[in-house]
Homo-oligomer: A and B are copies of this chain.
Amino acid sequence: MAQPWSDKLRPVVPYVPGEQSKNPNIVKLNANENPYPPSPKAMEAIGQFDCSKLNLYPSITSAPLVEALAAYHHLSKEQVFVGNGSDDVLALCFLSFFHSATPIFFPDITYSFYPVWCSLFDIPYRQIPLDDGFRICPRDYDAPNGGVILPNPNAPTGISEGRAFLEDLLAHNQDVIVIVDEAYVDFGGYSALELIDQYDNLVVVHTFSKSRSLAGLRVGAAFASAPLIAQLNAVKNSYNSYPLDSIALAAATASIGDEAYFRATLKKVMDTRERTAKALEALGFLVYPSHSNFLFVTHPNKTAEEIFLACKEQDLFIRYFKLPRIENHLRITIGTDEQMDRLLAFLRTYLQP
């Protein structure tokens, strides 16, 4: 494209959306979606929503959800922020907190959006290699930086770090903002939420898309000290005052009120994960310890790409990243027991000597 106005466009690498099959019979284990529906209370909140009021703007502060999350996590409402999915929340965090000429630090193997946001907002960054076991080395983060972000559990490895690790990281990074992206934490990881009162430079980001089965509604949250949340709100209100619609607000708020369903669903996913991990190990896979709703695996006899393509032929969609260091690994979302059985049955046939 070379038009007279072409030089006015922001340079950006066009994102190519992943393959989406129209076949309703596929087993979709490639997007880390929860296989179970959202809480019946969330669905009821949608069913009972008075749609004749949609002519009015939603709450500008998303007050009901902010208050519900504050009560749930024993925080004040000044410590809670919500947005249009955790991607929106994270993008606003990058824009708000990483405003420095010194590069921010994050792992080389991590959520693929981090470098994308850096590029979009002109944020310098350095990717710090994980060790050979795909673990984060906290000492690598001691050098001067403009901020730190890491997912915990990490993606796509599923590996989680605990309190001592995070306190160590925070102790050595007091003059920058440290963001912990806890998209998968509810599936058994350690949450840094309990450190928020202690570290005023800590931001914890959550999503309703995974553990709360609300990917279709786009709800995410951030938790931090009151000054950081105020900054996030100021930037949010400079971008889009009403990121969360009235129905998403009602459903997400109702979801927080249904602890029993939440716990039961998490348990089902974690039980299936453990069962699947054992079955994959029995098939010769190396399976990394996972505290998320997916497994990160590699096989000694077949390449990840071969397995990925063979599965796809059978309408079994798992995730393959053609990226340095992990090009021989696969990320498998935990579906229902039936879905995992279909995958395992195929792999048993496919991998038999």
Contact = CB atoms under 8 A, between A and B. Distances in A.
A201 B239 contact: no
A264 to B, nearest CB: 15
Contacts of A146: 8
Contact of A230 (B14, B31, B57, B177): B14
Given A120-B235, A240-B84, A241-B87, A37 B52 contact: yes
A46 B215 contact: no
Interface string A1-27: 101110111111111011010000000
A8 B176 contact: yes
A349 interface: no
Contact of A7 (B3, B100, B227): B100
Contacts of A97: 8-10
A120 to B, nearest CB: 5
Interface of A: 1, 3-5, 7-15, 17-18, 20, 28, 31, 33-38, 42-43, 46-47, 49, 51-58, 60-61, 84-85, 87-88, 91, 95-100, 116-117, 119-120, 146-147, 174-177, 200-201, 209, 213-218, 227, 230-231, 233-235, 237-248, 251
A200 B9 CA distance: 13
A216 B53 contact: yes
A54 B37 contact: yes
Nearest to A102: B8
Nearest to A145: B8
A38 B61 contact: no
22 contacts: A4-B175, A5-B201, A8-B147, A9-B96, A9-B177, A10-B99, A11-B99, A12-B96, A12-B238, A13-B238, A15-B238, A37-B54, A42-B51, A43-B52, A54-B213, A55-B213, A57-B216, A58-B215, A85-B240, A117-B238, A216-B246, A218-B243
B46 A227 contact: no
Contact of A201 (B3, B58, B176): B3
Given A5-B177, A8-B97, A146-B8, A241 B15 contact: yes
Given A4-B175, A37-B51, A247-B247, 18 more contacts: A3-B227, A7-B100, A8-B147, A8-B176, A10-B235, A15-B238, A17-B60, A17-B237, A34-B55, A37-B52, A38-B51, A43-B51, A43-B54, A46-B46, A57-B215, A91-B239, A120-B235, A215-B242
B53 A231 contact: no
A37 B87 CA distance: 31
Nearest to A225: B3
Contacts of A42: 51, 54
Contacts of A31: 56-57
A33 B10 contact: no
A68 B147 CA distance: 43
Given A51-B38, A117-B238, A238-B15, A10 B96 contact: yes
